[in-house]
Amino acid sequence: SLVTGRKTQVTYTGVLQREGQGRKFMLTISYPNGKREDLCLDLGKEVYREWTLSEYNPEQKTVTLRNHAGAVLILRRRLPTDLN
């Protein structure tokens, strides 16, 4: 049974930089049923439903998600953030 009030959350866990391959961003999706999904994505890729990974700020150590409606979520490392 679902826990009432639980939401799907995303956590930005880090960035991988490999020689000649550009950056890959690691995120974890945590679902209300307790399941987790680890992602390793390029900028511009879909994270969850309509949310895409749109920006990386190395100074702030944040990534930005945007959806089709123009909403923005700024994710700080290791800080779970509600998606819905």
pLDDT tens digits for 49-61?
999 999 999 999 9
Question: Which residues in the chain come in under a pLDDT of 70?
Answer: 1-5
pTM more than 0.85: yes
What integer pLDDT is reported at residue 24 of this predicted model? 96
What integer pLDDT is reported at residue 53 of this predicted model? 98
Main-chain phi, psi angles of 72, to 5 degrees: -125, 140
Residue 12: how many other CB atoms lie within 10 Å: 26
Q: How far apart are CA 48 and CA 52, in angstroms?
A: 7
What integer pLDDT is reported at residue 21 of this predicted model? 82
Sole residue written with tokens 């309509």: 50
What integer pLDDT is reported at residue 1 of this predicted model? 46
Report whether 47 contacts 29 (CB < 8 A).
Answer: yes
Main-chain phi, psi angles of 9, to 5 degrees: -125, 155
The residue count for the chain: 84
